A and B are shown apart, each in its own frame.
Chain A
Amino acid sequence: GESVGLHLPTLSVQEGDNSIINCAYSNSASDYFIWYKQESGKGPQFIIDIRSNMDKRQGQRVTVLLNKTVKHLSLQIAATQPGDSAVYFCAENRRMGYGNKLVFGAGTILRVKS
């Protein structure tokens, strides 16, 4: 079946280091991807998105890379801070006849050590 999944369930990094969270997808027709951050007790929060006609997009301290050849995307967080500790999800924006729906992966836990 089609799915969106993550390679690493837990990532621990030292404060100030860069973090890289990976995600694999299998639906080659998907043309839009989103990274969400979810803190304990909260709903997912939009971080950054990328369309399939791009291979890189940068935001504030975050960069998303998309490799369509191997159906892989990653989220890079520069100078990771304690406030970055959360669960990170990649989501595939799957086009439906009526519009779109988000298909989420299982998530990666990011722990930042001070």
Chain B
Amino acid sequence: GAGVSQSPRYKVAKRGQDVALRCDPISGHVSLFWYQQALGQGPEFLTYFQNEAQLDKSGLPSDRFFAERPEGSVSTLKIQRTQQEDSAVYLCASSRQQGNTEAFFGQGTRLTVV
């Protein structure tokens, strides 16, 4: 596609519900990042994939957060048993190659946990 696509754009979840957020990176991009952006804050790194390999998951806040990229293209960020503090915008970014400097961001998924 022309850019990084994320779905859904908005998600309202009841506390305790599981959610899955999808990211379609730019075709052919090797690197894929997930970020969490709280209101009024900068994006915070969650996890990084190089193709299908998850090389860094140091930013995932708890074991309720899980990300995968099984075929090295589309990625899914799953949050189990959502809590109110999970409310944020979840951003996905991709870049053409490992260590490439410019990452292109999607529009994000705004998650609200009620």
A residues neighboring B (CB under 8 Å): 32, 34, 36, 41-46, 49, 89, 91, 93, 95-96, 98-107
Contacts and interface: CB of A to CB of B under 8 A. Distances in A.
B102 A100 contact: no
Contacts of A44: 43, 91, 105
Main secondary structure of the interface of A (DSSP, over half): strand
Interface stretch (B12-20, B44-52, B61-69, B70-78): B44-52
Interface residues of B, number: 27
A102 B32 CA distance: 12
Contacts of A93: 101
Interface of B: 4, 31, 33, 35, 40-45, 48, 50, 55-56, 91, 93, 98-108
A12 to B, nearest CB: 17
